Amino acid sequence: MKKVALVTGGSRGIGLGIAKALAKAGFDLAINGVRDEDAVKDALAELTQLGAEVIYCQGDVSQSAAREEILNKIKSHFGRLNVLVNNAGVAPKERKDILEATEESFDYVLSTNLKSTYFLSQAAANWMVAQKSENVGFEGAIINVSSVSATVVSVNRGEYCIAKAGMSMATQLFAARLGEYNIPVFEVRPGIIATDMTAKVTEKYDKLIAEGLTVQRRWGFPDDVGKAVAALAAGSFPYSTGQVIMVDGGMNIPRL
């Protein structure tokens, strides 16, 4: 029986890169997104062609009712969930200096990027623990996709940085809590990845990368993140719960 993974925000960008890697690794998939299913049919078809059985779970993960509905759909269709990938994320609608940023923007970003991770992890973890109690051989994992912004300051999008820093702590918390059940929790921390979210700042980062911001002088791609997540999901790091996997081209290496 194939393992099942839920990827939030899995219909495009980094999420789709992760979903493709999981499909290639032999997972069946529940893909979450906010768009109508018609708008993501090409992505779903591509995942199906890679060998995965795929269901689409539309819903805004910042909302409690939507999170419950997503998990219920997975229970109804697959009857199991092995891996939760908390990937869904938004950027501030408008980048503003932290001396001018609004509470509305803060609430918007943290609700999607942090609150959803915390409470979807809670619900999924309880389900995984229940599955473990019914089947001692059950294998589960939670993988949080954060960002170098968890530790790298951007004063014009403070709410995003705080959300990702909070996600990093959530990883530690759930790793500690789920250790007794041997359900590992990981954080994958991407750097500069070519997606819709970064398309507006391409020129800025092209210049910075050329000047040596990253050790590997190229953009990262969703596939780079996907390969890391798939390795974790497959159980290739069984004794590394709570760890951060950097996917940033060496951006985090201190250099003189």
CA trace torsion 202, 203, 207, 210 (10° rounding): 50
Specify the pLDDT at position 182: 98
**Domain membership flag for residue 203:** yes
**Domain membership flag for residue 252:** no
Specify the pLDDT at position 150: 98
The per-residue DSSP string of 77-130 comes to: HTS---EEEE------SS---TTT--HHHHHHHHIIIIIHHHHHHHHHHHHHHH
**Domain membership flag for residue 131:** yes
Mean per-residue pLDDT over the chain, rounded: 97
Q: Which domain holds residue 172?
A: 4-247
160 noted as active-site residue: yes
Mean pLDDT, range 165-181, rounded to an integer? 98
Q: Hey, is 163 helix, strand or coil? A: helix
Tell me: the pLDDT tens digits for 31-88? Answer: 999 999 999 999 999 999 999 999 999 999 999 999 999 999 999 999 999 999 999 9
Give the span between the Cα atoms of 202 and 209, in whole angstroms. Answer: 10
% of the chain residues with pLDDT over 70: 100
Residue 249 tokens, joined: 């081209």
Q: How many CB atoms are located within 10 Å of the residue 81 CB?
A: 20
**Domain membership flag for residue 79:** yes
Specify the pLDDT at position 200: 82
85 φ, ψ (degrees, to nearest 5):
-110, 105
Place of tokens 């949080």: 144
Give the span between the Cα atoms of 20 and 87, in whole angstroms. Answer: 14
Where residue 180 falls among pLDDT bands split at 50, 70, 90? Answer: very high
Check pLDDT > 90 for residue 253. yes
CB 183 within 8 A of CB 125: yes
**Domain membership flag for residue 62:** yes
What are the strands of the beta sheet with 244-247, ordered from one edge? 54-58, 28-33, 4-7, 83-86, 141-145, 185-190, 244-247
Task: Please give the distance of CA 124 from its chain centroid, rounded to a whole number.
Answer: 14
- pTM (predicted TM-score): 0.97
Residue 190: closest CA among 143, 235, 234, 128: 143
Question: Domains in the chain: how many in total?
Answer: 1
**Domain membership flag for residue 253:** no
Tell me: the pLDDT tens digits for 80-128? Answer: 999 999 999 999 999 999 999 999 999 999 999 999 999 999 999 999 9
Q: Could you tell me where the DSSP H helices lie in the chain?
A: 13-24, 41-49, 64-77, 103-110, 116-134, 158-178, 202-210, 222-233
CB within 8 Å of 122: residues ≥ 6 apart? none
Specify the pLDDT at position 199: 81
CATH number at residue 158: 3.40.50.720
**Domain membership flag for residue 255:** no
Catalytic residue among 56, 108, 118, 160: 160
Give the span between the Cα atoms of 55 and 9, in whole angstroms. Answer: 13
Specify the pLDDT at position 147: 97
**Domain membership flag for residue 254:** no
Q: Hey, is 139 helix, strand or coil? A: coil
